[in-house]
Structure 1
Amino acid sequence: MDNPPLASLSLTHVHYNPADRVSYLCAWLALVPQGLCVVYATLIWSNREIEIMLMFTGQMACEALNWCLKRYIKEERPREMHGKGYGMPSSHAQFVTFFSITLSLFLLFRHVPHPTETHTPFSFGQRFLLSVVALASAAAVAFSRIYLSYHTPKQVLVGCAAGAIFAVLWFGMTTLVRRAGWIEWVLDTQLARLFRVRDLVVQEDLVDSGWARWVERRQKTKALRVQAKKSR
């Protein structure tokens, strides 16, 4: 065939009602999981934090669980849905629920930032507020799947439940791994040293990473300039 029929890349292909502003917003919310994967990859590459790697590993394991559940339950999507694949449980709902709950558990129970001369970290109340925002955002994404008729309310609720349960189990398992000293063992391996893997985010905000050294370097540079001017 000289001109074979074109296919649609379903990864970002979202149906919505162009006359409905809420539907348009929901179509953008449907892209949140893909956006979070980009965020994961960017943070892992730029910061090499093992905590982010653990979270991303759990995220992918949660996706694998969703893939298995869909093919075991084999429940169809709503009739209004134009796409393909099974609908039970909602992968979007499971994805964002795992992310938001894992992030909340980290911020509230594992993240103990220490203040420095150049940075004042978030207080517990601020971290709690950030957790509420993350959970509310996840709820908005889950709602969008129902509004766009990609899933039934039952499929979304089951997806949220699966994501929440897996998030709690994963957080508990990584806590045991940390207490057993396995994280320290991994960080001492030659491979971890080769890729500059570190474990600072538990006690240091990401925004403070390297900031103290940068401020100290600038202060030294300014001091040298002042001395140079005085010596002229």
Structure 2
Amino acid sequence: MEEPRLASLSLTHVHYNPADRVSYICAWLALVPQGLCIVYATLIWSTREVEIMLMFAGQMSCEAVNFVLKRYIKEERPLAMHGKGYGMPSSHAQFVTFFSLTLSLFLLFRHTPHPTETHTPFSLPQRALLSIAALAGAGAVACSRIYLNYHTPKQVLAGVAAGAVYAVFWFWVTSCLRRSGWVEWALETRLARLARVRDLVVQEDLVDSGWVRWEERRRRRKRAVDATRKAR
């Protein structure tokens, strides 16, 4: 019997010019959305923060909007990439724009961490710089799509616009959910309690999460060691 033809898993099958160093960097930038999905999954599993879950839900619904828009507009990619799906709007540009703008809105308007005895959280200017860095990173990913000829400038700009509009819309939706008490209600459900979902990151720096408990445990261990040495 004839052997079946093997297929290539296209999830990370990025085309680039191996003789062009910039093209090589752009190929790595094309993997940023996949990397961010891993970051989302890791943070959701390790922190159980409802704010991160809400952001991920917005990210996935933004992807659904891109899926619908592409199949409604049906605009082809540049000639070099014809046959690789529709190109309007750029899903990469929309993905990273939503992520970076949503993160910026959170850091600047919702995140109000309080200093503790052991940690001083980022100040507002520092959070602003972090937001600028996130937006610059999104810009690099968006530009890489043009450089690799996966999208036209118009398709990338459309993706940026769609991602920005949806980010503002989703931030408004989650703000309404918080003000109306729906988030607090969801946190009190049996499922959320079993999963240990919490809502601390709005007022607590993730770097400081659990640090006080760790320091207290370390001091108790040190006191126990010192007491053992004195007893000898």
With the shorter chain as reference, the TM-score category is over 0.9
Corresponding position of 1:231: 231
Q: 1:171 and 1:89 mapped to 2: Cα distance? A: 21
Corresponding position of 1:18: 18
Question: Unpaired segments of 5 or more residues in structure 1?
Answer: none
Q: 2:157 and 2:102 mapped to 1: Cα distance? A: 18
SS at match of 1:121: coil
Alpha-carbon offset, residue 120 of structure 1: 1.2
Alignment of 1:161-180 (within 5 A): 161-180=161-180
Alignment of 1:176-195 (within 5 A): 176-195=176-195
Alpha-carbon offset, residue 229 of structure 1: 2.1
1:125 aligns to 2:138 (yes or no): no
Q: 1:7 and 1:82 mapped to 2: Cα distance? A: 18
RMSD of aligned Cα (Å): 0.9
Corresponding position of 2:77: 77
Alignment of 1:1-232 (within 5 A): 1-81=1-81, 84-232=84-232
Question: Unpaired segments of 5 or more residues in structure 2?
Answer: none
**TM, length-normalised to structure 2:** 0.98
SS at match of 2:207: helix
Tell me which amino acid in the other structure corresponds to 2:199: D
Number of matched pairs: 232
Alpha-carbon offset, residue 206 of structure 1: 1.3
**Kept in 1: contact 2:76–2:82 (CA 8 A):** no
Q: 1:8 and 1:89 mapped to 2: Cα distance? A: 25
Q: 2:82 and 2:67 mapped to 1: Cα distance? A: 20
Tell me which amino acid in the other structure corresponds to 2:114: H
Alpha-carbon offset, residue 228 of structure 1: 2.5
SS at match of 1:11: helix
Moved runs in structure 1, 4+ residues, more than 6 A? none
Alpha-carbon offset, residue 82 of structure 1: 5.4
Alpha-carbon offset, residue 227 of structure 1: 2.2
Q: 2:103 and 2:126 mapped to 1: Cα distance? A: 14
**Kept in 1: contact 2:113–2:205 (CA 8 A):** yes
Q: 2:115 and 2:193 mapped to 1: Cα distance? A: 27
Q: State, as a whole percentage, how many aligned pairs show the same letter.
A: 77
Alpha-carbon offset, residue 230 of structure 1: 2.3
Q: 1:222 and 1:190 mapped to 2: Cα distance? A: 39
Q: 2:174 and 2:229 mapped to 1: Cα distance? A: 55
SS at match of 1:80: helix
Alpha-carbon offset, residue 172 of structure 1: 0.7
